[in-house]
Each structure stands twice: as C-alpha cells, then as structure tokens.
Chain A
Amino acid sequence: METREYDIVVVGSGAGGGTMAAALAPMVSQGVRILVLEQGPRLDPHEFTGSEGDMAGALYEDQGGFLTADGTMTLAMGRLFGGSTVVYTGTSLVAPDHVIREWYVPGLEHADIEQRCRKYMAQNHVHYLPRVLLNDNNKLFFTGCHRLGLKAEQFPLNVHGCKGSSLCNLGCPNSAKMGTHRVQLPDAERQGVEVITRTEVIRLEEKAAVVRVHAKPPGAKGREPEWAPGEYRINARQVVSCAGSVGTSALLLRSAVTAGVPGLGRGFTCHPAQILVAEHDRDITNDVGHPKSYYLDRARQEGFVLETCMYFPFVTAKNLTGFGPDHSAFMTAFPRLQMILVLACDKAVPENRITVDKSGKAVVHYTFTPAVRRSMVAATRMSARIFFAAGAKRVHAPPADPCLIDRQDAYRLDDLILEEHFIPGRLSISAAHLMGGCGMGPPGKGVTDSRGRVYGVPWLRVADASLFPDSLEINPYLTIMALADRVAEGIREDYRR
C-alpha cells in the first residue's frame, strides 16, 4: 500500500466537503497540503443528459434506491463530484431560529448560522426566479393555497442561467445549478486543493485515512480517477469527514479508532417524504420550468412542509401506490398531472439510527413514529384540498384505500385519508434530507462540539449534516455550508496558533 502525506484530508465533496475545500483553500499558499476525497466520479457538463435511465446510476448511491433496514423507505444520496448539491433542486433557505435554539448546542447561535448562510447565498447566486418562468404545476399550487387562505411562499434558488429544463434531480444539463461542483470546488482547485474522485475511504486510522481508488468501470460516465487505482494510506494532521449523515456515521463506526465514540450513529432524521399526484382536465406545463418554486410551511403547526415538485415517469410510477389499470390510467395522464411533495418534520428518537454491517456498509434503521404518521396523513389531506381547490378532477392519496379520490368526494377527505391506511411496505416513502448520526452537543451528550471537533479524537472533525442533533424542517444544504464554514474557521484558527 502506497503512503502519501497531506496536512488536511477532507472526506466528501458535497455541501460540507465542497465548502470546507474552498474555505481552507487560501491556506495552500502558506504551504498547507489539502486533499479532498470523493467516492463518486467527476462528470463533465455534456454527460448530464437529463435521461432518467441514463443518470440515476451515475449520480446516486444504489441508483437512488438505498433502502432502510426494514425496506420501507428509500434514501437518496448524491455520489459524485459535488455530492448531493449536484442533484437537488437548489432551494436555499436559512434554518429557522427556533430549530437552532431547540438544538441546545452550547456555542451555536442562530445569528452566526444566518450570517454564514447569507454569505453562501451571495456566493451561490441565490435569488427568486422571475414569475414569468414559473410553470402551471407551480402556479396551481399557489392558486390552490390562495383559494384556501394559505400562504404559499416562493423558494429562493441557487441557479444562474436556468433554462427551465425541469431536470434538476438528474443534475442540471445546462450547468445552471450553483452546487459545490460549480462554485466552491473549482475555486478550491484553482488555489491548489487536490480532489481525488472514485475514492472510497475504507477506514480511518490514527491521523490517517486508508482509501481505495477505483478504476472507471467500462462504459461508465465520468472521468478516470486522478490517482492510479489501488489502496493508499494518506497521513494527515487533520481529517474532516464531510461524507454526509450516513457516510460519515458509517465511516466512523467502521473505524476502530473512532467506533467507541459515544452516541455515534444516533439521532438520525430524514424528513420522510411522499409524492402526491393529482389529475387536471387539461394539459398543464409540468415537465418544463423549474420544478420547485413554492412551499407551504406547516412545520410548527402540524409537523409538515409541502413543496411543489415534478418527477420523471419512473419515479412517478414508483411513488404512486398500487399497480394495474388504475395506476396505468394515471401514468397515461402525465401531461395533466400536478404534484406536491410532502415532507414530515421528524424528530430524533433512539430507534432511528445508523449502524454498519459486518462488511462496514451503512445500515439505516428507521421506524415511522406515530407523530410522523399523523403528520403524513394531515399533510396528505391538506395537499388533496390544495389540489381540488386548484381545479384537479381527482387526487392520488397514498393513505387512502382506494388511493384515487374523485372531485365529488372532496368533501369527505377526512373520512377517506386515514392513518390506518398508512402502511409501510405498501406506500412509497423516500427521503433526501439525511441528518444526524454525529450530533453536536455538550460533552457526554454530543459526538462533536459546536465546531465539529469529535470528542476524544483531536485530529478529527465532522462538517456535514451528520452534525445536526435533530431535524431542520427545511432543505439542509445551506445550513450544512454554514456549519462547514464554522468548522473551517476553527481549523484555520488552530493553524494560526
């Protein structure tokens, strides 16, 4: 095994790792050697084709179908240069004040998070899309909310030159999304930070990472790895794990040097999500334009958030409950479909956690708590009301049996959409906001302090969503960047001493 020497090794290149790379990059000119390790490939812009079958395997862990331990939920994790910032829709919200307060992390103030979020909003060109570019799918959501007296809010987005391809979740084919692959990582590389792709971190050892660089599989998308395939031991004074909630937790759990850290893998939350679909009498613009322009925040009141969304045919088919002629009839109505994404604001509970199997692979244990089930059902009822208020003729509501509800039954939603029909294993539930596992907190309670320093392991820091002690109630990427910025600041201060 070849050994290489660096000062700082960053594991992961998504919202946490990309931010870390750029925030530390000025240190390269002072002679500090910085290396970023990314498990996935580096894709060139022309490789983002927007084809559903073509892209899923290149962008996501397990093609987007990573299953929880009991198989009742799929987890989406971006696995490429730029991580999940390549494949999400670009929604950019600052963490709510009450969430940060309720995390009870000593030394972590909302004002600090907000200030850092604003910095990255400016860096990532976050703004509101002009309304002329919003499609019917989004406008109908606004209309439905408006008619019900609900206040839908517009998402600020980190796009630059958005053409409205609607293909955000397959990686923007026009390089319009300002993820770390477009902003922070190129900036870091220009300043001399090295990024090695197709590199799996097998384990951490004392001040070192043992990695395996994989060859590019025949026919696969992406560039060849920057290093020759094989195993390496990379020595470093400081390791920063930014491999995401599941990736970082699993890495620390399978490394003998950190496996004994108390609380590791605990506190996993993920905003379990369902895609709800309704059919209108007429064709609407749904597969053109940015897919996610509005949201309705009911987190404080009812434990859920509704967002506009539009998915591709296979993902849509998968997320409709059932099969057979009714399912097919809905699919053939594709140009008339409106969609809403329901996100439950779950809370950290002891049974929801990350472990590793004998081979060191991550295993995510997740049980839908009664509170989450209630939130999902309440969210489905409200979504159905919004659909009908916007003029839909029928709604597909997973926690109803049968799932299809016609307009003439719109007055009976509370009788039709019931918790007893929320049956895991029958419904399609997925999550993309994976949080927790290395939660910040005071000594004895947290895995790290508020600057991401792992208690008892002075050469190791964490800077990703695994730091969240509980769920965030919004898309986490901007908060991850803010936390990574804090962690990087701590590293720079250590070097100055």
Chain B
Amino acid sequence: MTAAVLLPVGATFRAVAMTVVPETAALEPKEWEVLERGVEAALSQRPETMRRQLVLFLRVIEYLPLLSHRGRFSRLDLAARLAICRRLERSPRLLIRRGLWGLRTLIFMGYYGQPAVQGRLGYRAHPDGWSARRRGGEEAASDGAVPTDL
C-alpha cells in the first residue's frame, strides 16, 4: 500500500529507500506497507506545506538524473542512485541538503522504528533490564573492559 502523501511519488520513494537502506530491496509487499504506514503516520503530524515540499523534492530526485544519467532515478541501479543521493547530500545549497536529510530520516524511522527490524539488528532492550538478561542466562555486567582502579 502506498498511502496518501506518497501515492503520487511511490516509485521514487521506494527507490530512495532502497538506496539509503539497501536491505529494503528485499522487503516483501507487506513489509513495505508497514514502512510506508509509519512514514505516512509521521507525515500526518506535519504541516501541509512540508508534505507538499516532500512530494516536490521526490519529483526533483526522480527527474534530475535525466540530465546526468539519461534515466529516471527509480530506473537506475544502486550505484548510480547512491552517487546522486551523495551529490544531494553535499550540495552547496542548504535547502537541498536539508531535503535529503529529512527524507532519509523519514525512511530510517519507517524502517528502523519497526520492532521486527530492531530485533534483527540485535537490539534487545527490555523493560525488565538486567533481570531480563539474567533470565536469559547472562551476567549482570561484564568486567572485562574495566581497569582495576575503577
């Protein structure tokens, strides 16, 4: 599902997502839904002008490579897409840098904010803290790195 804000620029959004988080290239349709639902939820809290700017920025990204790469962004390979995004990230224009920073942040939120993804990274924070680790058979804290005069 590509929801309201992203709908007209869905292909570009996914192409940018697969560029900034290469693992997303392997996402199943349902996993894309989860990612995009998270992004849409965040966008729904933002002003209308910001949502419009995001769509405009994605359109610029889509058509910018026509000049340099003779193809639209969403049809380029990963290396070419990375090169374009890196150029935008280092643009002398603050507006462009900000735009890319904001877009990547949204994608990170939609992807890394998911509990399933966090689990795959090995992130194991638990409300029970040390007790949860002890239940898993681990020591409270390892002392290996601590100098004796601590």
Enumerate chain A interface residues (CB-CB to B < 8 A): 49-53, 57, 62-63, 65, 70-72, 131-136, 139-140, 142-143, 146-147, 162-167, 173-174, 283-285, 287-289, 312-314, 316-318, 322-325, 327-328, 331-332, 334-335, 390-391, 423-426, 428
B13 CB to closest chain A CB, in angstroms? 14
Residues in B whose Cβ lies below 8 Å from that of A51: 115
Chain A binding surface SS class = loop
A281 CB to closest chain B CB, in angstroms? 12
Which 9 A-B pairs give the minimum distances between C-beta atoms?
A164-B129, A425-B97, A323-B20, A173-B127, A163-B129, A317-B108, A335-B122, A53-B113, A165-B129
Contact status B142-A146, CB under 8 Å = no
Q: How far is the CA of A388 from the CA of B109 in the complex (A)?
A: 30
Residues in A whose Cβ lies below 8 Å from that of B42: 63
Contact status A325-B22, CB under 8 Å = yes
Residues in A whose Cβ lies below 8 Å from that of B132: 288
Contact status A166-B142, CB under 8 Å = no
Q: Most chain-A CB neighbours within 10 Å: which of B82, B86, B131, B144?
A: B144
A191 CB to closest chain B CB, in angstroms? 31
Contact status B141-A134, CB under 8 Å = yes
Residues in A whose Cβ lies below 8 Å from that of B128: 163, 165
Within 8 A of A (CB), among B94-149: 94, 97-98, 101-102, 104-105, 108-109, 111-115, 117-118, 121-133, 140-147, 149
A420 CB to closest chain B CB, in angstroms? 12
Contact status A146-B147, CB under 8 Å = yes
If A70-B94, A133-B140 touch, whether A143 touches B146 (CB-CB below 8 Å) is yes
Given contacts A166-B125, A288-B125, 18 further A-B contacts (CB under 8 A): A62-B46, A136-B144, A139-B141, A139-B146, A142-B146, A142-B150, A147-B147, A164-B130, A174-B127, A283-B122, A285-B133, A288-B132, A289-B130, A314-B112, A316-B112, A323-B89, A328-B22, A426-B89
Residues in A whose Cβ lies below 8 Å from that of B19: 323-324
Q: Report if B75 contacts A (CB, 8 A).
A: no
Residue of A nearest to B142 (CB): A136
Q: Which of A50, A132, A331 contacts B127 (CB 8 A)?
A: A50
Residues in B whose Cβ lies below 8 Å from that of A133: 130, 140-141
Contact status B22-A324, CB under 8 Å = yes
Contact status A288-B126, CB under 8 Å = yes
B118 CB to closest chain A CB, in angstroms? 5
Contact status B127-A334, CB under 8 Å = no
Contact status B150-A313, CB under 8 Å = no
